[in-house]
């Protein structure tokens, strides 16, 4: 069985493909990219078959189905790929890029294609062929002394974790919440986050290999030095630092990526701080910020609203009857019954017996003064939410949060809205108020969390809807656009967005920035074949 088939079956098992098929059928109208004729497309498909073999090129609508599913609102069916191709080697990627240039056929690279809630493997504009790198899945190197790894794009977090365990290497990985099926390369290129002290993934990336749009291969950092032993040890190399250009962009295809791995600490102690009121937002942020800025708390905290937490394991109609707004009193009651507060903030201490014992009282004093109840494994034994976060914060893997897709109906609709703010209580308070107002107006719930970074907040709002309901999908689309626009007017733009809103968010970052990106794009990829529309760059 192919890994695609396996992967498909895995998702069917999780009830996800079935859930989204309803939405797919209605919006399945793949069209060719502007300027690409049927003959060009057919020529590109034929030439790609010559490179990777017939079985790894998918050119008719039915065969492309696994790459079409996505959870974001797409009422007009714009984000539908016309094909998929799955190379195994860097040389094959180079050939595919040359073919794309010859036929002017755009290709959309993905690593494992699990960009769930941002578009999965689907492209930003119609008519693209997904360049699926899942078959390039070798772990090329792990250096236990330096704590570094070099991986191909198709390597999953699960694979890397298994490798470390099987080889008895005492290093941790850092995972996003959907780690088992996602990839370090795809996640890092999106500048995604996880929850150990190595959670800011791009910060812990070191060295890349990139196939450029003209088919040449470039290595960044120390990677182009013959005989170097420092490709995964020293990030900056010499001259302009370019790795960032290949994140959230369409300037090249990353075929190898270096990353740093955290040494397993002797002591790991997870905490949850329970606050009982929605209005406690500013208190929590003001209490956490000094701990984060000083690195007394070293990992990215997740401050989870009760409604987000409930949506992981419950269905909405277990909390309020269908058709009724999700009121705070009902949420509070359900949260309390499950050992949760209205806000639940998770972090951990990592170190030795002595360092953890020294820091714990400082943290306890600070958070108790904010009105929070400090909970540890001793008090939260057997609580599935605590268990979930305690697993994540040590780089452990589970798919608990996939439950969000079942919160509302059977249709599996989810779009992440992720505006950034400075880590200040007043800002978070204002963002929460604004988000709740817009979501309420459109009939959706505030299922949200704050990821407290070092000095920033990622306000992570899960817009959950039923994708099998066409009217609800349209409403979700309108709601999402209003969130982006209104937050933008208040100085808050997203750190990352779905394929359905890339141009909208790029608008907010200004004309000069857009022109600069366009200048680079024209110079690097004059035929515009790599992922047109990514981050609003065409
Ligand atoms: C319930 C839930 C929880 C989630 N939790 C988190 C979380 O905690 N943290 C987080 O960051 N995300 C989270 N996500 C979002 C998302 O699922 C993850 O970020 C996931 O890692 C992205 O999928 P992927 O790794 O398969 O990347 P891919 O889908 O393979 O790649 C993402 C994008 O990066 C670009 N890209 C990928 N590979 C390449 C390449 N080799 N060369 C050039 N460009 C490339 C493409 O534009 C692609 O569309 C969550 C999603 C859900 C549904």
We find that the CATH architecture of domain 267-489 is 3-Layer(aba) Sandwich (3.40)
Report how far apart, in Å, the C-alpha atoms of 106 and of each of 41, 97, 534 are: 10, 9, 12
Residue nearest to ligand 1 atom 41, measured at CA: 254
139-263 shares its CATH topology with 267-489: no
Confidence of residue 410 (pLDDT cuts 50, 70, 90): confident
Compute the C-alpha angle 26/439/338, nearest 5°. Answer: 100
Q: Is the CB of 134 under 6 A from ligand 1?
A: no
CATH match of 3-135+528-536 with 3.40.50.2300: no
Position 29 pLDDT exceeds 60: no
The domain 139-263 is placed in CATH, from the list 2.70.98.10, 3.30.465.10, 2.40.128.20, 3.40.50.10420, at 3.30.465.10
Residue tagged active-site, from 71, 195, 350, 495: 495
Q: 151 and 184 in contact (C-beta within 8 Å)?
A: yes
Q: Is the CB of 300 under 6 A from ligand 1?
A: no
Confidence of residue 30 (pLDDT cuts 50, 70, 90): low
State the pLDDT at residue 411: 83
CA distance 23 to 468: 5
Q: Is the CB of 109 under 6 A from ligand 1?
A: yes
User: What's the 32 CA to ligand 1 centre distance in angstroms?
Assistant: 25
Position 24 pLDDT exceeds 80: no
Position 14 pLDDT exceeds 90: no
State the pLDDT at residue 21: 31
Compute the C-alpha angle 195/534/92, nearest 5°. Answer: 90
Q: Is the CB of 113 under 6 A from ligand 1?
A: yes
pLDDT one-digit tens code per residue, 37-73: 999 999 999 999 999 999 999 999 899 999 999 999 9
In the predicted model, what is the mean pLDDT of residues 373-379? Answer: 98
Confidence of residue 27 (pLDDT cuts 50, 70, 90): very low
State the pLDDT at residue 12: 30
Position 268 pLDDT exceeds 50: yes
Position 3 pLDDT exceeds 80: no
Q: Is the CB of 193 under 6 A from ligand 1?
A: yes
465 an active-site residue? no
State the pLDDT at residue 20: 31
Position 357 pLDDT exceeds 70: yes
Position 525 pLDDT exceeds 70: yes
Residue ranges of domains in the chain = 3-135+528-536, 139-263, 267-489
Position 25 pLDDT exceeds 90: no
Residues 6+ away with beta carbon under 8 Å from 207? 150, 219, 220, 221, 222, 223, 231, 232, 235, 243, 256, 257, 258
Position 472 pLDDT exceeds 90: yes
The 10 Å Cβ neighbour count of residue 489 is: 10
CA distance 273 to 290: 16
Residue nearest to ligand 1 atom 19, measured at CA: 187
User: What's the 253 CA to ligand 1 centre distance in angstroms?
Assistant: 15
315 an active-site residue? no
pLDDT one-digit tens code per residue, 180-233: 999 999 999 999 999 999 999 999 999 999 999 999 999 999 999 999 999 999
118 an active-site residue? yes
Residue tagged active-site, from 118, 350, 446, 480: 118
Q: Is the CB of 114 under 6 A from ligand 1?
A: yes
């Amino acid at each position: 069985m192919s890994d695609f088939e396996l992967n498909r079956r895995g998702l069917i098992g999780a009830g996800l493909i079935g859930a989204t098929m309803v939405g797919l059928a209605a919006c399945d109208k793949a069209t060719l990219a502007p300027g690409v004729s049927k003959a060009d497309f057919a020529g590109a498909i034929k030439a790609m078959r010559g490179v990777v073999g017939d079985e790894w090129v998918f050119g008719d609508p039915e065969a492309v189905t696994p790459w079409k599913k996505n959870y974001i609102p797409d009422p007009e069916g714009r984000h539908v790929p016309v094909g998929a191709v799955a190379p195994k080697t860097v040389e094959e990627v180079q050939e595919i890029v040359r073919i794309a240039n010859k036929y002017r056929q755009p290709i959309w690279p993905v690593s494992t294609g699990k960009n769930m809630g941002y578009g999965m493997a689907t492209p930003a504009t119609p008519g693209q062929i997904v360049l699926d790198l899942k078959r390039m899945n070798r772990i090329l190197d792990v250096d236990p002394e330096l704590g570094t790894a070099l991986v191909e794009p198709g390597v999953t977090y699960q694979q890397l974790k298994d490798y470390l365990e099987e080889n008895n290497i005492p290093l941790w990985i850092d995972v996003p919440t959907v780690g088992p099926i996602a990839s370090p390369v795809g996640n890092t290129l999106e500048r995604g986050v996880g929850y150990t002290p190595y959670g800011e993934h791009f910060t812990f990336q070191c060295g890349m290999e990139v196939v450029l749009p003209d088919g040449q291969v470039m290595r960044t950092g120390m990677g182009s030095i013959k005989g170097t032993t420092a490709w995964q040890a020293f990030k900056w190399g010499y001259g302009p630092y370019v790795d960032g250009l290949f994140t959230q962009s369409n300037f090249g295809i990353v075929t190898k990526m270096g990353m740093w791995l955290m040494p397993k600490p002797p002591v790991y102690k997870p905490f949850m701080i329970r606050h009982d009121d929605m209005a406690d937002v500013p208190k929590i942020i003001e209490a956490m910020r000094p701990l984060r800025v000083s690195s007394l708390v070293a990992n990215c905290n997740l401050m989870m609203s009760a409604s987000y937490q409930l949506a992981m394991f419950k269905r909405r109609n277990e909390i309020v009857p269908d058709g009724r707004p999700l009121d705070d009193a009902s949420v509070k009651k359900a949260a309390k019954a499950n050992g949760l507060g209205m806000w639940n903030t998770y972090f951990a201490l990592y170190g030795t017996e002595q360092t953890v014992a020294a820091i714990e009282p400082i943290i306890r004093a600070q958070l108790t003064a904010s009105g929070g109840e400090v909970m540890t494994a001793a008090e939260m034994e057997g609580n599935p939410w605590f268990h979930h976060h305690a697993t994540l914060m040590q780089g452990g893997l589970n798919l608990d949060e996939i439950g969000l897709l079942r919160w509302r109906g059977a249709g599996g609709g989810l779009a992440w809205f992720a505006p950034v703010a400075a880590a200040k209580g007043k800002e978070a308070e204002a963002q929460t108020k604004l988000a709740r107002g817009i979501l309420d107006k459109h009939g959706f719930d505030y299922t949200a969390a704050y990821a407290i970074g070092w000095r920033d907040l990622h306000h992570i709002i899960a817009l959950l809807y039923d994708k099998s309901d066409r009217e609800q999908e349209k409403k979700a689309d309108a709601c999402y656009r209003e969130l982006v626009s209104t937050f933008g007017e208040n100085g808050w733009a997203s750190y990352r967005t779905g394929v359905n809103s890339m141009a909208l968010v790029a608008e907010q970052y200004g004309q000069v920035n857009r022109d600069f990106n366009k200048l680079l794009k024209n110079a690097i990829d004059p035929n515009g074949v790599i992922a047109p529309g990514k981050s609003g760059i065409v």
